[in-house]
Structure 1
Amino acid sequence: MNRNRLSLSVLLSIGVVGLTVAQNQPVKQNPESTEIWKPVPPIVTPGAPSASVSGFTAPSDAIAIFDGSNLNNFVSARDGSAAKWTLADGAVTVVKGAGDIQTKQEFGDYQMHIEFRTPAQVVGNSQGRGNSGIFMQGRYELQVLDNYNNPTYSNGQVGSIYKQAIPLANPSRRPGEWQTYDIIYYAPRFNKSGMLTDAGRITVLLNGVLVQHNTQIKGTTEYIGFPKIEPHGRGPIRLQDHGDPVSFRNIWIREL
């Protein structure tokens, strides 16, 4: 190749590169270029400080499951009759032998707040001390237990997804003190054939401390044996009668 042809080739290459660079240059940007105005998030009035509950009342768009005044939103999980737990001082307390209670309304994905109190008088140890549970969609148990200076198996202590997921920490308060769970729950999905297509997931804060972080729900929380995958739709919130007089209050849900 002679020198003239080489020079022409180099010039053409430079021209192609320059054209490519010019084409890849972004349009001149300004602050408004990356501003998104729609959709506008809905306005939610947050809960207000309250002396009668642990921290705050329910936000404006929440469904009040239990506000301390009555048990109208609950029925017996055993037979659908009226809930037979004790109602006093803005709280509902387990009555041994009355059985679990559950919400009349069923839910899918949600944010949930619930407060619980184990008995001030310590009786028993391990799983026999302040034991109850909160079941997502009536199937998946978030353990309630008095674990203040009370060792037990790690996947059965307070903050565990019972027999499935060990909590990240144990921020238990003393027996007799009110404690709070804040829960973000994503329900499992099933196809028309009943096959699991997307596992349920749960994030939990106990007394403001993260104890479950986007934890996968493996199936039903069995006392004996391994989790079972059972296709289902929306389901109730169920509170467990494990024989101990555990109390609950200020229960609300924001559907997601």
Structure 2
Amino acid sequence: MKKYLLLFSISVLAFSCKDKEENSSEKKEETAEVTTKQETKDDEWTVLFDGTNLDNLQLYGNDNSIENWKIEEDALVFHPPAERPKDTHYNLVTKKEYTSFVLSIDWKISEGGNSGIFWGIKDDGTYGQPYETGLEVQVLDNEKHPDAKNGTDRQAGALYDMVAPNKDVTKPIGEWNTAVITINHKTNTGSSVLNGVTVAEFPLKGKEWNSLLENSKFNGWDGFAKYKTGKIGVQDHGDIVSYRNIKIKELN
């Protein structure tokens, strides 16, 4: 009898251990599945402009038809109007707002041209221009535009008027440049990568940020850099400029 009881106990223990192993294995698989899904989500890019339509974009300040921005050979090209009504601008912004993200965008500027890529834009009718609220990575002809001579923090790739690029890696006029802008409020870090080179890094808040702001033209501006969540846009600065392959990856 004792022998049978011993065998029964061993069998129960074996099944119990097996169940625990299976449950543990299932939990590991579930955890791995969740992790994989999270990693996949973090790696997902959303195309904002693929060369075929402007469905994700609109003019800053309204949702009317987009003027002066034309799709040409898969690129979004701005042609400044010959005659511009007073206080009329054609800045282009996303319909959606973003907080932390990685933005990838190709740009090509005309000779002597100037433009910019903004984020944190408040588009509710309170402000007249994206630059009143949004921070900007500069798009510029470093060779012929006078802004490049006014200080390196206005050269292409700079956090405009705040952080200078550590080197000039722009392509010759007529060639495409690729900008990758990362804004991460969780880690309090921002960066500007131009043609594969990290040319500027900056905080988004704190003592160092306050110092940058105080020493810039934006010091004292009511709405500047106040909005963690806002639209992304490209600038009408009165010059021909082209953008293509615009995509964004939101950071959780």
Shorter-chain-normalised TM-score: which range?
0.5 to 0.7
Match of 2:245 among 231, 235, 250: 250
Q: 1:185-223 CA distances to partner (integer Å, 9 max, x unpaired)?
A: 124x9xxxxxxxx9x531121000111124446488999
What is the match of residue 104 of structure 1?
Answer: 95
In the alignment, structure 2 segments of 5+ residues that lack a partner are 1-30, 122-133
C-alpha deviation, 1:79, in angstroms: 2.5
Q: Which of 158, 161, 174 is the aligned partner of 2:159?
A: 161
Q: 1:212 to 1:233 in 2, by over 3 A?
A: closer
User: 1:78 offset after TM fit, Å?
Assistant: 3.1
Count residues with an aligned counterpart.
Answer: 190
2:45 aligned to 62, 80, 90, which one? 62
Alignment pair present for 1:90 and 2:85? no
TM-score by length of 1: 0.65
Kept in 2: contact 1:162–1:221 (CA 8 A): no
Distance 2:215 2:77 in 1: 24
Which structure has more relative contact order (CA 8 Å, sep 6+)? It is: 2
Among 93, 102, 113, the alignment partner of 1:130 is 113
Matches within 5 A, 1:5-24: none
What do you get for the CA RMSD once the two structures are aligned? 3.1
The percent identity for this pair of structures is 28
Aligned partners of 1:165 and 1:215 also within 8 Å: no
In 2, the alpha carbon distance for the partners of 1:162 and 1:130 equals: 15
Pairwise mapping of residues 233-244 of structure 1 onto structure 2 (< 5 A)? Answer: 233-244=228-239
Match of 2:219 in 1: 226
* Structure 2 equivalent of residue 145 of structure 1: 140
Distance 1:141-1:222 versus aligned 2 partners, 3 A rule? farther
Alignment of 1:130-209 (within 5 A): 130-138=113-121, 139-148=134-143, 151-152=148-149, 153-187=151-185, 201-209=189-197
Preserved CA contact (<8 Å) 1:145 1:157: yes
- Return 220-229 or 109-118, whichever deviates more: 220-229
| 1:94 positional shift | 1.6
Q: CA separation in 1, counterparts of 2:104 and 2:43? A: 14
User: Normalising to structure 2: TM-score of the pair?
Assistant: 0.66
Residue 59 of structure 2 corresponds to which residue in structure 1? 76
For 1:100 and 1:221, the matched residues in 2 are separated by 27
> What is the distance in 1 between the residues matched to 2:73 and 2:66?
17
Task: State the shift of 1:224 in Å.
Answer: 4.5
Structure 2: how far apart are the matches of 1:222 and 1:88?
A: 40
Post-superposition shift, 1:74? 0.8
Structure 2 CA distance for partners of 1:92 and 1:186, relative to 1, 3 Å? same
Q: For residue 248 of structure 1, report the CA deviation from its aligned partner.
A: 0.1
Q: Which sections of structure 1, spanning at least 5 residues, go unmatched?
A: 1-36, 46-58, 123-128, 190-197
Task: Answer with 1 or 2: which has the greater Rg.
Answer: 1
Letter aligned with residue 154 of structure 1: T
